[in-house]
Structure 1
C-alpha cells in the first residue's frame, strides 16, 4: 500500500539561501549577457586618448612647477627671517647685558634700587606702567628699556612670520607631492594605453612622431619676421640651440625642458629673468592680442587656462617643448591642440 505522507518541506532559512543564490545567478547571467566583450581600441583611438592624457599631464606639470617655485622662494624667505631673528636675539642679549652691568654696579654701591629691579623685570611693559611712579629713573634708563621693548616686539613679529612661512612651506610641499603624483598617474595611464598596441602599431606611431620631429626642425619656413627686440632675438636663438632636446615634466634645462621651462631658460640666456610657469609668464610684459602682430621671440600662450607657452618663430610657427614623448621643435600654431589666446612681448 502506497504511503500518503506529505513530503518534507525545506526550512525557511534554506529557502532564503536558495532564493538569494538563484537571484544572484540570474543577475550574473543577465550582466554577462548584456556586457559586450571589451573591444580593442584602434591605433588612432589610442593615440587620441594618449594625446589627451599628455595634455592633462602638461596642465598638472605647470601646477607642479608653480608649487616647486613657491617652495624655493619660501625656503629663501624663511632662511632670511631666521637669520634676522638670530641677529635680533644677539642685539637683545647685549641690551640686557648692559642693564645687568648697571645692576651689578648699584649692588656693589649699596644695593639695587627699586627702579633697577623693575628694569630687569621679565615684563618690560609692566615695568613701564609702574615706573611712572618712580622718580629715580633717569632718561637714559628709560631709553634703554624702550630699546629692549622694541627689540622684543620685533623679535616676536619675526618669529610669528617664520612660523607662518613654515606652515605655508609644509602645505606647499604637500601640494607639490600631490601634483607630482597626478602627473605620474596621467603618464602611467597613457603608457598603459600604449601597451595595448601591437609591436607593429607602436613602431608606426613612433615613426610618425620621429618624422614630425624631423620635419618640424629641418623644413620650416619661418619667413622674415623681425625679432621683437635684441633680447627677444637672443632668447629665440638660445631656444633654437635646444631643438631636439626631449620634453621632461618639471625640467628647465639645459638638456631637457617642459614648455615654460624652455621659455624661462631661453630668456635667462638673454639676461632676462621671467617667472617659471606659463600662467605667471602671461602676466608680464606687453600683451599682444592679435597673432598678426606677433614678432619673433614673443611668448605665445594657448588653451583657456594658459597651460602651454612657446616662443613665436615667425610665419605662424612657434618653437616650443610640446609634451611628453616629443622634443623641442617648431610647430604651426594651428596644430597645437588648443586655441591661441594672446602673446606677450618681454
Structure 2
C-alpha cells in the first residue's frame, strides 16, 4: 500500500470503547498546518539571519575598537617611559651644570647662550612629551569606553541570535514531524553536483543560474550559506556573488538593497530575484515561468514552476 494511502486509512481509524483519543489530523489538515509552519519558519529564519549579521557587525566593531585601544595603550606606555627618561635626563643635566661652574659663570657669552639654549630645548622637549602623554592618556579612557560599549552591543546581538535560533529549532522539529507523517521529508545530498543549466540567459544572469543549478539536490538548511546546504537568501547571495555582484545576506536586506532595482512581474528576466509577500522567501527566476530556490526544511534546492510554489509575490529585483 502506498505510504500516503496507508496514512489516510490509518488516520480514519478511531478507537472504540472507553474514552476516545483526539483524532489525528487528516492529510489535508496536516498539509495546511505545514504550509503555515513553513511561512512562519521563513520569517523566523530571516530574523535569525538578521540577528546573526548584526552580531557579526557588532563583533567586528568591537574587535576594531579593542585593537585600537591596545595600540593606544602601547603608545601611552611608550610615552610614559619617554617622560620618565626626559625627567631623569633633565635632572642629570641640571646636576652637571651646577657641578661645572664654567657653563653658568663663563665670561664667554657664546658658552652661556649655548647652555641656556640647551636647557630651553630640553625643557621644551619635556613639555611636549608631557603634553603628548596627557593627551594620549585621556584618549585611552575614551577608546576603552567605546570598546566596552561595542562589546556589550555584540553580546546583546549574540543573545538575540540564540533566541531566534531556539525558535527556529522548535519550528523545524514541528515541520519534520509533519513531513514524516506525510512521507514527504527529503534529506537531500550535501555533495550533490546539481544539474546543468542549458537556458538562454547570458552575461551575469547565466553565471547566476549555472551556479544555482549546480546546487540542485542539496538540502535546505536554515542559516545555510553553502556549500553543503542553503537557505533561500543564502543561495541567492552566493549565486549572484558567482556573477561578481555582492548582495546583502538576508531576504529583508536584499529587498531593501534592490529598492531602486525593482522590476515588474510581467517583465521578469532570468536571474531576477522574486520575493514572497511578507519577505519570508526569495527565489531566482530561471526563465520560462520557472524558478530555482531553496524552499524550506525537509526539502532541497530545486527548479519548479513559479506558480507551483504558491503564495503571493510582493515583487522582484534585478541586481
Which TM-score band (shorter chain)? Answer: 0.7 to 0.9
For residue 70 of structure 1, report the CA deviation from its aligned partner.
Answer: 2.3
Deviation for aligned residue 1:336: 3.1
Aligned counterparts of 2:93 and 2:132: Cα–Cα separation in 1: 26
Q: What is the DSSP-based 3-state SS (H/G/I as helix, E as strand, rest coil) of the residue aligned with 1:276?
A: coil
Write the distance in 2 (CA, Å) between the matches of 1:253 and 1:161: 35
> Residue 49 of structure 1 aligns with which residue?
33
Check the 8 A contact 1:322/1:328 in 2, yes or no.
Answer: yes
User: Could you give the per-residue CA deviations for residues 112-134 of structure 1, whole angstroms, max 9, x where no partner exists?
Assistant: xxxxxxxxxxxxxxxxxxxxxxx
In structure 1, which of residues 281, 298, 302 is the aligned counterpart of residue 276 of structure 2?
302
Whether 1:267 aligns to 2:252 is no
In the TM superposition, residue 95 of structure 1 has moved relative to its aligned partner by 1.6
SS class of match (1:177)? helix
Deviations 1:192-240 (A, max 9, x none): 4456x4xxxx34x46xx89xxxxxx99x9x985x45xx23321221011
Change (3 A) 1:158 1:232: farther
1:69 matched residue in structure 2? 53
Alignment partners' CA distance in 2, 1:242 and 1:194: 22
Alignment-derived partner of residue 210 in structure 2: 237
2:296 is the counterpart of 1:323: yes
CA contact (8 A) 2:277 2:313 kept: yes
Structure 1 distance, partners of 2:254, 2:175, is 28
1:175 equivalenced with 2:169 (yes/no): no
Contact 2:176 2:298 in 1 (8 A): no
Secondary structure of the 2:25 match is coil
Length-normalised TM-score, structure 2: 0.75
Deviation at 1:302, TM superposition (A): 1.0
Q: How far apart, CA to CA, are the structure 2 residues paired with 1:109 and 1:149?
A: 24
Residues 287, 342 of structure 1: 8 Å contact kept: no
Counterpart position of 1:281 = 254
SS in structure 2 at match of 1:282: helix
1-side partners of 2:136 and 2:94: how far apart?
Answer: 31
Cross-structure match for 2:267: 293
Structure 2 counterpart of 1:253, from 226, 247, 250: 226
Contact (CA 8 Å) 2:179, 2:298: kept in 1 or not?
A: no
Pairing of 1:129-208 with structure 2 (within 5 A)? 138-194=123-179, 197=181, 202-203=182-183, 205=184
Cα distance in 2 for partners of 1:231, 1:137 equals 66
Unaligned runs of 5+ in 1: 1-34, 112-134, 211-216
- CA-CA distance at 1:36 after TM superposition: 8.6
Aligned to 2:22: 38
Larger Rg: 1
TM-score, with length taken from structure 1: 0.69
**1:283 counterpart SS class:** helix
How many residue pairs match? The answer is 269
Cα distance in 2 for partners of 1:193, 1:140 equals 78
> Within 2, Cα distance between the matches of 1:65 and 1:261?
9
Task: Report the CA distance shift for 1:78/1:41 in structure 2 as closer, same or farther (over 3 A).
Answer: same
Let me know the Cα RMSD of the aligned residues. 2.9
